[in-house]
C-alpha cells in the first residue's frame, strides 16, 4: 500500500510540473525528466534505475564441486531526484529504494517500517569552496563505497567493503577543496553523524560518529568525476591519480559494524563501545587502464558484547584488516576486462580471499551495460566456492 501511494505521488507531482514548468532537452542517460522553473527558482531531475542480477554458486565438497544453486533477483530498483532550490548554490538529492534488498533491515529502531529512504540531503555552498551537507547520505568513507552502485566496474563491491564500509548515516558534513600550484588539488571532508545508520527514527542510541577524509589529486581532477566511477570510460589522455585517507570513530557504538551490523542488545539495553576504522585508498586512470586499491583496518575498545553480569552474548565487533586490489582495461569496442583480489583477516577468524575476473560491455557507459564476473572464494583453505554473476544495468 505504501509503495502504491509513493508511485501515485510521483505521478501526480510530474503531472503538475509538466503543466506548470518548462521541460529542458534531455536524452537517455541524462534523466527521465528534467524540469526547470520559468523563473529559475528551482529544478528537478528524475532518474530511475534498475539492476537485474542472476547468480550461480558451487561449493567444493568431497573433492568436487557439487551442483550449483542459481537465483534471479532485482538487485536494485531506485528512484532518484536531484536539482537545486532557490539558488544553484542550494542543491538537494533524494534517492528511494524499492527492491527487497534496498528496504531490508526493518527493526524496532526504524519503527518496524521499511528503509525506503536511501538519500535525503541538502548541499549548501555557503561560501567560496565550502559546502555544508545536511541530512541522510553516504559518509565520506572508502572510495569503493562512495562510488555509486550504478557506476561499479564489476557486478558488485568487494568483501573489504562488505565488512568494513561505514555506509550511510544522518547528520552533517562539511566539504572543502583548494589548489596548490596549477594542478595539485586537496579535498577535505568531515562528517558528524548519529552513528546508527540510515532510517533510524528512535533518536541517538549511543554516542556520535565522527569521520574525516582527505584526498590528494596531484595531477588535477579526473574527467567527468572519474575518480568516483569504475572504469576509465573517459580514456584519460594524461595520467590521473587520487589518494585518500579516512579515519572514522563511532563513540559508544551500539552496532557490531560501527553504524551497521546487528544491534548489540544485552539484558540492560544496548552494549556500547568505541569503534575506530581506518581506510587508505587510491584510484589511477590513464588511456583506458584503471586501478583501484584499498586498505581497511578496524578496532574496538571492547569487542566482546557482554551482559551486565559479565556473561558473553556471542556477538562480537568484527575487528581486523582488509585489502582490495582491482584493475581493468577498456578496449575501443567498449568491452572491459577486470581482475580483482580481495582479502579480509578478522581477529580470531579464518582469512577469506576472493579472486574475481569480470567482463563488461558498456552500451551507453554506466547507464546501459551488461556485466558478468566469475569469483573463486577461499576461507583459509577450509572451504572453497565458485560464484558466477550476470547483471544488466539500466539507468535513465
Q: pLDDT tens digits for 106-126? A: 999 999 999 999 999 999 999
How many residues in total does the chain contain? Answer: 396
pLDDT band at 2; cut points 50, 70, 90: low
Beta strand 240-253 with 209-217: parallel, antiparallel or unpaired? antiparallel
The residue-averaged pLDDT of 321-333 equals: 98
Residue 196 has pLDDT above 50, yes or no: yes
The residue-averaged pLDDT of 20-35 equals: 72
pLDDT number for residue 224? 95
Residue 19 has pLDDT above 70, yes or no: no
Residue 381 has pLDDT above 90, yes or no: no
pLDDT number for residue 305? 97
Within 62-158, strands assigned E span: 64-65, 69-85, 87-97, 117-127, 130-138
pLDDT band at 278; cut points 50, 70, 90: very high
Write out the H or E segment, with its range, that includes residue 276. Answer: strand 273-286
pLDDT band at 26; cut points 50, 70, 90: confident
> What CATH number is given for 47-395 in this structure?
2.40.160.10
Mean pLDDT of the chain: 92
The residue-averaged pLDDT of 17-43 equals: 75
The residue-averaged pLDDT of 80-95 equals: 96
Gyration radius of the chain's alpha carbons: 22
Instruction: Give CA 248 to chain center in angstroms.
Output: 16
> pLDDT tens for residues 225-240?
999 999 999 999 999 9
More confident residue, 274 or 24: 274
- The residue assigned the cell 574475481 is 356
> pLDDT tens for residues 140-175?
999 999 999 999 999 999 999 999 999 999 999 999
The residue-averaged pLDDT of 243-252 equals: 98
Distance of alpha carbon 110 from alpha carbon 6, whole angstroms? 18
pLDDT number for residue 379? 81
Instruction: Give CA 117 to chain center in angstroms.
Output: 14
The residue-averaged pLDDT of 35-59 equals: 93
The residue-averaged pLDDT of 185-204 equals: 96
The residue-averaged pLDDT of 308-328 equals: 96
Amino acid at each position: 500500500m505504501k509503495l502504491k501511494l509513493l508511485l501515485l505521488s510521483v505521478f501526480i507531482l510530474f503531472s503538475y510540473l509538466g503543466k506548470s514548468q518548462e521541460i529542458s532537452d534531455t536524452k537517455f542517460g541524462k534523466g527521465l525528466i528534467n524540469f526547470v522553473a520559468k523563473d529559475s527558482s528551482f529544478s528537478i531531475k528524475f532518474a530511475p534505475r534498475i539492476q537485474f542480477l542472476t547468480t550461480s554458486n558451487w561449493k567444493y565438497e568431497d573433492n568436487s564441486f557439487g551442483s550449483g544453486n542459481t537465483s534471479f533477483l532485482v538487485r536494485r530498483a531506485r528512484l532518484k531526484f536531484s536539482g537545486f532550490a532557490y539558488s544553484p548554490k542550494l542543491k538537494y538529492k533524494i534517492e528511494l529504494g524499492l527492491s527487497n534488498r534496498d528496504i531490508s533491515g526493518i527493526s524496532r529502531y526504524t519503527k518496524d517500517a521499511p528503509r525506503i529512504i536511501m538519500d535525503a540531503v541538502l548541499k549548501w555552498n555557503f561560501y567560496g569552496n565550502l559546502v555544508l551537507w545536511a541530512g541522510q547520505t553516504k559518509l565520506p568513507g572508502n572510495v569503493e563505497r562512495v562510488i555509486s552502485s550504478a557506476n561499479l566496474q564489476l557486478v558488485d563491491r568487494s568483501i573489504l567493503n562488505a565488512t568494513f564500509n561505514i555506509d550511510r548515516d544522518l547528520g552533517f558534513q562539511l566539504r572543502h577543496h583548494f589548489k596548490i600550484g596549477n594542478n595539485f588539488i586537496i579535498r577535505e571532508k568531515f562528517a558528524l553523524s548519529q552513528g546508527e545508520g540510515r532510517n533510524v527514527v528512535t533518536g541517538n542510541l549511543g554516542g556520535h560518529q565522527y569521520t574525516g577524509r582527505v584526498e590528494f589529486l596531484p595531477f588535477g581532477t579526473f574527467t567527468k568525476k572519474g575518480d568516483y566511477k569504475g572504469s576509465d570510460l573517459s580514456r584519460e589522455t594524461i595520467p590521473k591519480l587520487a589518494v585518500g585517507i579516512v579515519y572514522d570513530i563511532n563513540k559508544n557504538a551500539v552496532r557490531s559494524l560501527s553504524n551497521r551490523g546487528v544491534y548489540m542488545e544485552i539484558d540492560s539495553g544496548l552494549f556500547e563501545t568505541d569503534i575506530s576504522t581506518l581506510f587508505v585508498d587510491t584510484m589511477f586512470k590513464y588511456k583506458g587502464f584503471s586501478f583501484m586499491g584499498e586498505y581497511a583496518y578496524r578496532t574496538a575498545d571492547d569487542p566482546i558484547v557482554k551482559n551486565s553480569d559479565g556473561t558473553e552474548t556471542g556477538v562480537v565487533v568484527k575487528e581486523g584488516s582488509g585489502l582490495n586490489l582491482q584493475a581493468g582495461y577498456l578496449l575501443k569496442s567498449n568491452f572491459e576486462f577486470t581482475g580483482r583480489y580481495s582479502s579480509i583477516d578478522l581477529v580470531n577468524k579464518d582469512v577469506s580471499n576472493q579472486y574475481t575476473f569480470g567482463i563488461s560491455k558498456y552500451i551507453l557507459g554506466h547507464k546501459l551495460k551488461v556485466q558478468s564476473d566469475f569469483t573463486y572464494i577461499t576461507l583459509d583453505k577450509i572451504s572453497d566456492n565458485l560464484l558466477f554473476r550476470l547483471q544488466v544495468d539500466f539507468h535513465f
